[in-house]
Amino acid sequence: MRQCVLIVSRIFILVLAAAGSVFAQANPDWTEPFPPFHIAGNLYYVGSKGLANYLITTPQGNILINSDLEANAPLIEASIEKLGFKLKDTKILLISHAHWDHDAGSAIIKEMTGAAYMVMDADVPIVESGGKTDFEYGNTPTALYPPTKVDRVLHDGDKVRLGGTVLVAHLTPGHTKGCTTWTMQVTDHRKKYNVVILGSPNVNAGYKLVGNLAYPEIAEDYERMWRVLKSLPCDIFLGAHGGYFGLEEKYSLMKEGGANPFVDPSGYKQYIAQKEQDFRTEMARQKLAAK
């Protein structure tokens, strides 16, 4: 019986390891082009089907959120040009968090634009080591990327200003130590909207919430994130992956006309509540397994 349990647990570990390595590989959606479009005010979607990028235009140049995989740089450039803007007008590059699917292309984007790269303090060592110091993926070759110099280190609550636009960096840690949720206000048809661009609420496969030696405060950090996310006023709900906020469905609705489907305060609340519940379920499972 003991032998059997051992074998089963070994198989389980192998399956987990396989899932982890699959996770670290590129998902086909990540490099599949998606039509760029105007969200509201000076905010535009310029990402792929699976990886979200946002362009914020100002009279003094533009802000780009996320650089994605290295392979995405030409896609981002094409999306920006389709909207009538230029990638080289990007003055500031920001990220949702220091994982390769959001920041591997930062070195290329910096080279193409000369933009100032601004990253939350706790994610800076990850970005500048090309992913090598990440608590979970530091030894996963497919999760590594060219180390990129950060030009401004951000702290929780810091403001990024350009041409009259202000973005606020909210530390929402757990998924990475410096995971960042961006907020801004946009004015569209003389109405003001609070925008939330969610960093990531996910507990990835393999994340240890209990007894994590590489990230001992991980569970408290997730708790902090739920508190912050629940405190943010949100009209327009966006995030680091289109899947968080229903990109494809909302884009289709938008093309049909009518009210802007990205204005979705209740969708935001429901999503956060669901993700918090998922976290609590996983936490309970891990606590039980650790007994």
Contact track, Zn ion, 200-239, x by CB under 5 A = x---------------------------------------
β-strands 90-94, 61-65 pairing: parallel
Which segment (98-106, 144-152, 252-260, 281-289) binds Zn ion by CB under 5 A?
Answer: 98-106
Angle 53-202-194 (CA atoms, 0-180°, nearest 5)?
Answer: 50
β-strands 159-162, 165-171 pairing: antiparallel
Q: Does 275 bind Zn ion (CB under 5 A)?
A: no
Do the Cβ atoms of 83 and 45 come closer than 8 Å?
A: no
Closest contact distance (angstroms) between CB of 80 and Zn ion is 23
Number of residues in contact with Zn ion, rule: CB under 5 A?
Answer: 2
Closest contact distance (angstroms) between CB of 193 and Zn ion is 26
Q: Of 182 and 193, which has the nearer Cβ to Zn ion? A: 182
Q: Of 72 and 200, which has the nearer Cβ to Zn ion? A: 200
Q: Please, what's the largest Cα pairwise distance for the chain?
A: 70
Closest contact distance (angstroms) between CB of 190 and Zn ion is 37
Closest contact distance (angstroms) between CB of 206 and Zn ion is 12
Q: Of 200 and 260, which has the nearer Cβ to Zn ion? A: 200
Q: Does 110 bind Zn ion (CB under 5 A)?
A: no
Looking at beta carbons, which residue is closest to Zn ion? 99
Which segment (8-16, 31-39, 91-99, 281-289) binds Zn ion by CB under 5 A?
Answer: 91-99
Contact track, Zn ion, 187-206, x by CB under 5 A = -------------x------
Closest contact distance (angstroms) between CB of 8 and Zn ion is 30
**What is the rounded CA–CA span in Å between residue 267 and residue 249?**
13
**What is the rounded CA–CA span in Å between residue 167 and residue 236?**
14
Q: Residue 191 corresponds to which tokens in the numbers above?
A: 């109405």
Q: Does 99 bind Zn ion (CB under 5 A)?
A: yes
Q: Does 170 bind Zn ion (CB under 5 A)?
A: no
Beta strand spans in the chain (E):
37-40, 43-45, 54-58, 61-65, 90-94, 116-120, 152-154, 159-162, 165-171, 180-188, 191-198, 236-239
Do the Cβ atoms of 169 and 225 come closer than 8 Å?
A: no
Region of residue 16 (left: phi > 0; alpha: psi -120 to 50; beta: else): alpha
Do the Cβ atoms of 228 and 170 come closer than 8 Å?
A: yes
Q: Which residues lie across from 32 on neighbouring strands? A: none
Closest contact distance (angstroms) between CB of 192 and Zn ion is 30
Which segment (5-13, 21-29, 99-107, 125-133) binds Zn ion by CB under 5 A?
Answer: 99-107
Closest contact distance (angstroms) between CB of 7 and Zn ion is 33
Q: Which residues bind Zn ion (CB under 5 A)?
A: 99, 200
